[in-house]
Amino acid sequence: MAVSFRNIRSGAVIVLLLGIPIVLLRSTVQDPHHMNAFDRAVHRIGAPLEAGVTYSARWVGSFFERWVFQARMLEDKQALEEQTRDQKRQLVELAQLKEENRQLRRALQMRDQVVVKISVDRGDSYVRPGMAVLAPDGVVGRINRTNAQHSDVMLITDPESKIAVEVARTRCPGILEGAGEDMCKVRIISCDEPVLEGDVIQTSGVDDLFPKGHPVGRVATVERKVDAQLVDVVPSVRFDRLDMVWVVLANAPQADPQAGKPRARVPSRGLGPLR
């Protein structure tokens, strides 16, 4: 089988390419003081080549390091941009919530300013001052002034309003006074039972103005002192939503003490002559 010149040349190139690194490596690992002439010549010739290869390898390595670093920086930049967009969306949502909160506060302030007093469409021919005014949810107040066509109602939140009340759970008595701004205060005295938040305050009927057992409000906060308990009460009635009230025209009659007791029978006399 004939060997072509091309195959011989390729083999020579391969041997040369493999031999040069081996010769350079051999000259590098040897002690410079014990080199022969051939090794010194190879070392002198290969030193620049080795330096060039080392420089090229370092340059290629630094290039890839810069490329990897730039890729990581790009990823970090994209993550920061996404985080910035999320924070901007959150800021927009917070601004919207702030505006809604401001509008709600303004609406509540307007509600407190609008509800000042309530009038009923009955004049002095039907009602008189002091009569109790009730609603389905509880006590509203009492008639304050009467006119020919209508009458003004003093709400239980009016600072001049005072009502005899009790705690529904313990029957502890107290006096409810208006504190304005949809709030009342009660001073509970002569009671060993503690008042709890959420307790229902109702009329006691002691003042002979309000029927007993009608809800007035619920306890919001309690301040305990040595001789009394000071209670903040939220009214049961939403005065800004009233469309109908009842005026108590008269108190219930006193119970008959003889009711339910057997009565003595009076003997029948029959018919007799008139004298």
Q: CA 131 to CA 134: how far, in whole Å?
A: 10
Q: In this structure, what token pair is assigned to residue 33?
A: 């003081």
Q: CA 177 to CA 210: how far, in whole Å?
A: 14
Contact 145/158 with Cβ under 8 angstroms?
Answer: no
Show the DSSP H helices in the chain as ranges: 5-29, 37-114
Q: CA 33 to CA 27: how far, in whole Å?
A: 12
Q: CA 172 to CA 270: how far, in whole Å?
A: 57
Q: Which residues contact 240 (CB under 8 A, 6 or more apart)?
A: 111, 114, 115
User: How far, in Å, are 4, 144, 158, 170, 188 from residue 204 at the CA level?
Assistant: 127, 21, 19, 12, 13
3-class DSSP state for residue 138? strand
Q: CA 71 to CA 75: how far, in whole Å?
A: 6
pLDDT of residue 115: 47
Q: CA 14 to CA 6: how far, in whole Å?
A: 12
Q: In this structure, what token pair is assigned to residue 158?
A: 């009016």
pLDDT of residue 21: 63
The C-alpha angle 28, 30, 33, rounded to 5 degrees, equals: 115
Residue in the block written with tokens 């009076």: 266
> Measured in Å, how far apart are the chain's first and last C-alpha atoms?
178
pLDDT of residue 23: 58
One-letter amino acid of 21: P
Strands (E), 173-242: 173-178, 184-188, 200-203, 215-224, 229-235
Low-confidence residues in the chain, pLDDT < 70 = 1-7, 10-13, 15-55, 57, 105-116, 251-256, 259-260, 263-275
Contact 113/182 with Cβ under 8 angstroms?
Answer: no
- By residue count, the chain amounts to 275
Contact 197/220 with Cβ under 8 angstroms?
Answer: yes
Q: In this structure, what token pair is assigned to residue 108?
A: 């509540």
Per-residue pLDDT of 21-33, as tens digits, reads 665 555 555 555 5
Per-residue pLDDT of 44-74, as tens digits, reads 666 666 666 666 767 777 777 788 778 888 8
Residue in the block written with tokens 């906060």: 221
pLDDT of residue 234: 92
